[in-house]
Amino acid sequence: MDSTTNTATSATVALELQGLTRRHPGVTALDGVDLTLMRGEVHALAGENGAGKSSLIKILCGADRPDAGRMRLFGEVYAPQSPLAAMRAGIRVVHQELHMLGELSVAENLLFERLPRTRLGLLDRAAMERRARELLALVGLDELSPATRVGTLGMAQQQLLEIAKALSNQRGGTARIVIMDEPTATLTPRETDRLLAIIRKLRGDGVTVVFVSHHLQELFEVCDRVTVLRNGRHVATQPMAGTSTGELVRLMVGRELVERPARVAPAIDASQPTALRVEGLRHAGRRDAPSIDFSLRYGEIVGLAGLVGSGRTETLRAIFGADRAAAGQVFRDDRPVRIASPKDALAHGICLVTENRKEEGLVLDMPIRANLSLARLGAVSRGGLLSAEAENAAARRMVGELQIRLASIAQPVRQLSGGNQQKVVLGKWLLRDPKVLLLDEPTRGVDVGAKAEIHALLERMAAQGMAVLVVSSDLRELIGLCDRMLVMSRGVLVGELPRAQFDEEAILAMAYREYLVRPPQAA
C-alpha cells in the first residue's frame, strides 16, 4: 500500500481493500489489489481497457464477488451479496452501460426505487414531477419534460439521467461513495463541465467519488489522487498534483505511447466517382429544417461534429437505412440507390458502427468468432451450412489484424474489455470489405492505447481507398483524425471546413449557431 494511504487515520478512511483477487476461466481479472479511499476525496481509477477497473467496480457494487481478499467500509467488514446490499450500505454506481427503462417516463426512471405515494397508496404524480425537475436541474436538463419517454432520448441525455438517478439517492443522505464509470463518454464539453461541478459539490458534502474516465484531462481537473491498475494488478496510488500526463500514461500502458504524426490530407482525384453523396436529407421530426447535403470521397476521413442531439446520429442511421428519413436521396459512385433497410445499405457496400455496441453491435453471450462472422455468414458457410473451419480462420485473421486481446475466440464477447469489444464490432464489418464505413462514437469508453490503435486502423483503411465518416463528441479526436469537417447544429448542416482551417473555437461556434438564433421547438 502506498505512503499516501498509510498516513490516513481510520476516522477518515471510507473504504479499504486488501488483496482483492478475482479469477475467470483463463483470465485473472484482479490479482491482489490494494486500495484505500478517503472520505470526501475524488479518487481517479485509471488503466487501459482490461486492466481490471470494471471487475473492481462490479465487486464494490455487489454485482460480483472476489475469490480472495477483504473489504472494510468505514471500519466495518464489507461483503455485499447483491447490488441492493451495496446500495443500502451507501455505495452508488453510475455505470458505463445505460440501465434506463425505455418505455417509462423520465420521472418514473429517476424515482423508480422510491416512487412517492399519496396517503391512499397511489402514485403522487405531482410530487414525482416536482422531484424529477429538481434532479434534472442538477444535471443541466432543465428543459426536459419529466413526462418524456426515455426511449426517445439519445445516449448522452440518458447518461445524464443515470447520474441524476444516482444523485436522487444521495439527496436522502444515504450515499457515502459514488462511483462514476466513464460518465462523460458521450457528453459535450458544456455537459462535462456541469458534471465536474456536481462532483466538486459531492466532495464538499463529504461524499467520496471514484471517477473513471479515459479523458485524462478530466482526471487532472477534478481528482485528488489516482490509482492505476494494469493487467489486474495495482501499479501505483499517488496524488494527482505533481503527476504529469506522460507519467500517468506510462503507468497505465507500461510503455511510452508514441504520438501519431499529424495526418496529411490525401490527394483526391476529382475525376473519380464520389463514394457517397447525400442530397435533400430531412429527418422525421425535423421536416422544417433545411435539407442535409454532403459528399464523401474514397480515401478520405470526414468528421461530423456537433452537440449531442444535433442530428449526427440520425444522419448516419438514415444513410444506413436503420431509421426512415422524411426525404432525401443517397448516391453511391454517383448513381442513386434505394436504401430502405440496413440490408440495402450492406448490398451497396455501406456499413455502420453504431454508438451502442452492447445493444446494437454485438451479441454478448455468443463467442467472439460468431460475432466476427455474423455480418458475412455466406463467406464462412459451405453448401448452406456454417463451416467451423472457415469461421475460425476468418476470426483468427481479424483478431490478428486488429490485435484483439482475448483468451480464446470461443469465449463470449461479453468477457472482453470495452476496447476489445469495439474491435470485434469493427472486425465484423471489415470482413465484409466495405467501401463506405460510417462510425458513431467509435472510441467511446475506450482507453488511450486502444483509441490510438483504432485511429491507426481507420487511417490504414482510408489509405487503402475506403471512405470513412466519423461522428465523435471529442472534438480534438476529430481534429487529429479527419481530412474534412462537417458541422451540424440542431439538425442543420451549418458548415464545412478543410483540414487547413480546423479551429476548435470556430467549430464550437458553428455547433452552437442554431441554438443561439432560434428558440427550441416545442417537444
Q: What is the mean pLDDT of the chain?
A: 85
Residues of the chain with pLDDT > 70, as a percent, come to 90
In this predicted structure, the answer to whether residue 260 has a pLDDT above a threshold of 90 is no
Q: How far apart are CA 343 and CA 162, in angstroms?
A: 33
Same fold, 1-90+176-259 and 275-349+434-516: yes
Residue among 352, 357, 425, 431 at smallest CA distance from 398: 431
pTM: 0.61
Rounded CA-CA distance 267/229 in Å is 43
Among 195, 110, 127, 213, residue whose Cα is nearest residue 161 = 110
Name the strand (E) or helix (H) holding 485: strand 484-489
Instruction: List phi, psi (to 5°) of 71.
Output: -135, 145
Q: Please report how many Cα atoms fall inside a 13 Å half-sphere around the Cα of residue 127, on the Cβ side.
A: 10
Any idea what the Cα angle at residue 484 is, between residues 472 and 441, rounded to 5°? 10
Res. 247: pLDDT tops 90: no
Residue 116: partners with Cβ closer than 8 Å, 6 or more residues away: 123, 124, 127, 128, 131
**pLDDT confidence bin for 171, thresholds 50/70/90:** very low
State pLDDT tens for residues 340-390: 999 999 999 999 999 888 888 899 999 999 999 988 888 888 888 888 998
Average the pLDDT over 397-420 and give the result: 89
pLDDT at 467 over 50: yes
Q: Residues with Cβ < 8 Å from 183, sequence gap 6 or more?
A: 94, 159, 162, 163, 195, 211, 213
Model confidence at 62: pLDDT above 70: yes
Superfamily of domain covering 1-90+176-259? P-loop containing nucleotide triphosphate hydrolases (3.40.50.300)
- In total, the chain counts a number of residues equal to 523
Q: Which of 112, 92, 320, 323 is nearest to 210 (CA)?
A: 92
**Residue predicted with more confidence, 242 or 96:** 242
Question: Around 213, how many Cα atoms within 13 Å sit in the side-chain half-sphere?
Answer: 24
The alpha carbons of the chain give a radius of gyration, in whole angstroms, of 24
Is residue 255 classed as helix, strand or coil in its secondary structure? coil
Per-residue pLDDT at 265: 64
Is it the case that residue 428 has pLDDT exceeding 90?
yes
Cβ atoms of residues 340 and 522 within 8 Å: no
Task: Count the helix, strand and coil residues of the chain and give each as a percent rounded to the nearest 5.
Answer: 35, 25, 40
Location of C-alpha cell 421536416: 287
* Angle at 360 (CA atoms; ends 393, 189), nearest 5 degrees: 115
pLDDT single digits (tens) 111-165 = 887 787 888 888 888 888 888 998 898 788 888 899 999 988 877 788 888 888 8
Strand order in the sheet with 467-471: 350-353, 436-440, 467-471, 301-306, 484-489, 492-498
CA atoms within 13 A on the CB side of 306: 26
The domain ranges of the chain are 1-90+176-259, 100-172, 275-349+434-516, 356-429
**Average pLDDT for residues 398-411, to the nearest whole number?**
90
Question: Regarding the domain delimited by 275-349+434-516, which CATH topology (the fold level of the hierarchy) does it fall under?
Answer: Rossmann fold (3.40.50)
Whether 217 has a pLDDT exceeding 50, the answer reads yes
What pLDDT shows up at residue 507?
86
Q: Determine contact, residues 306/496, Cβ cutoff 8 Å.
A: no
Q: In this prediction, what percent of the chain has a pLDDT beyond 90?
A: 46
Q: In Å, what is the CA distance from 514 to each residue of 304, 306, 352, 487, 520?
A: 16, 11, 27, 11, 9
> Please, what is the Cα angle at 29 between 412 and 8, to 5 degrees?
150
CB 94 within 8 A of CB 179: yes
pLDDT over 60 at 522, yes or no:
no
For residues 179 and 210, the answer to whether their CB atoms sit within 8 Å is yes
Given a cut of 90, is residue 220 above it in pLDDT? yes
Question: pLDDT class for 7, splitting at 50, 70, 90?
Answer: very low
Position with higher pLDDT, 302 vs 405 = 302
Q: What pLDDT, in 10s, does the model give residues 10-59? A: 448 999 999 999 987 767 889 999 999 999 999 999 887 678 888 899 99
Picking from 269, 275, 238, the residue whose alpha carbon sits closest to that of residue 436 is 275
